[in-house]
Structure 1
């Protein structure tokens, strides 16, 4: 389901360090706790890399693997305030029919607490929950460089975009 775009921000990631810095800025936002973030872009655009950087910035330890085959990978860590936190990393790349969204039984995870990071969201079909923030990643001519369009789809998404704005 697509909510209206409340605001947007264009970013450039000239290298992996810029991607990591953006993830670090987002991780510092209190609005991130129960956010639903969609990551869209072609293969190799950096969706999983950004997710790994974000989860590391949040404090997730251990291996962070792509959920391409498992569809969802759970992650848990203790926040700076000492409270337990959780995130769910979804990858719908292998979905061939939007009905697989319903068949997978993921609605409860999306309705529950925790950060939700979704790669290939369109393949889950139109009945998926609306996101707070959508990041459209696109490789550019320079090797390793990315352009990113951040779109806020909720008031929480606007707070997340504010966290991504470069400081002046």
Structure 2
């Protein structure tokens, strides 16, 4: 499958990258956000939501587990599973109800929900490099591959 790597420097760059990602993720349902604490996962989500037309504060769902954002064309759900001790907790909260055809779910710490999450479309890995971040996009499903097709060219414009 497709894999793309980018180097970003600063919070503004991460947010702008998220805005560009919003243009290609319209037809995917699940994006996993992987990276250590403080890597910029929520900043990326803030940019993505801005790119989709959301106006308002974007906070980390660390304590609430999920933050919903209802937009005209799509429901966005931002999950942070860092504090989930057992994936069964997600079943009790009805996590499967969030993964509808017209929703986009962005999941931080997806390994904590192993066995409860559907097939991922795109994996995003954020790692520390020098004074910035390396962001890797990896298509896992056919929807993900279609979304990443041409993303490099879109960023160059």
Task: Give the TM-score of the pair, scaled to structure 2.
Answer: 0.89
Please say if residues 76 and 104 of structure 2, whose CA atoms lie closer than 8 Å, have aligned partners that are also in contact: yes
Note closer, same or farther for the CA distance 1:19–1:89 as it changes in structure 2 (3 Å cut).
same
SS in 2 for 1:20: helix
1:140 to 129, 132, 136: 129
Per-residue Cα deviation, 1:100-123 (whole angstroms, up to 9, x for no partner) = 222221101113421111111100
2:82 to 93, 97, 115: 93
Per-residue Cα deviation, 1:10-37 (whole angstroms, up to 9, x for no partner) = 11112223323322222122x5244211
Verify: 1:164 aligned to 2:151, yes or no: yes
Please say if residues 71 and 92 of structure 1, whose CA atoms lie closer than 8 Å, have aligned partners that are also in contact: yes
Residue in 1 that maps onto 2:70: 76
Verify: 1:16 aligned to 2:11, yes or no: yes
2:22 to 12, 18, 27: 27
The ranges of structure 1 where at least 4 consecutive aligned residues each deviate by more than 3 angstroms after the TM superposition are: none
1:104 to 93, 96, 103: 93
Q: CA deviation at 1:68?
A: 0.9
Note closer, same or farther for the CA distance 1:33–1:76 as it changes in structure 2 (3 Å cut).
farther
Verify: 1:64 aligned to 2:51, yes or no: no
Range with greater deviation from structure 2 (9-18 or 85-94)? 9-18
Q: CA deviation at 1:97?
A: 1.4
Q: What number of residue pairs does the alignment pair up? A: 155
Q: Distance in 2 between matches of 1:68 and 1:20?
A: 19
Q: Distance in 1 between matches of 2:141 and 2:76?
A: 19
Residue in 2 that maps onto 1:46: 40
Task: Give the TM-score of the pair, scaled to structure 1.
Answer: 0.83
Please say if residues 74 and 87 of structure 1, whose CA atoms lie closer than 8 Å, have aligned partners that are also in contact: yes
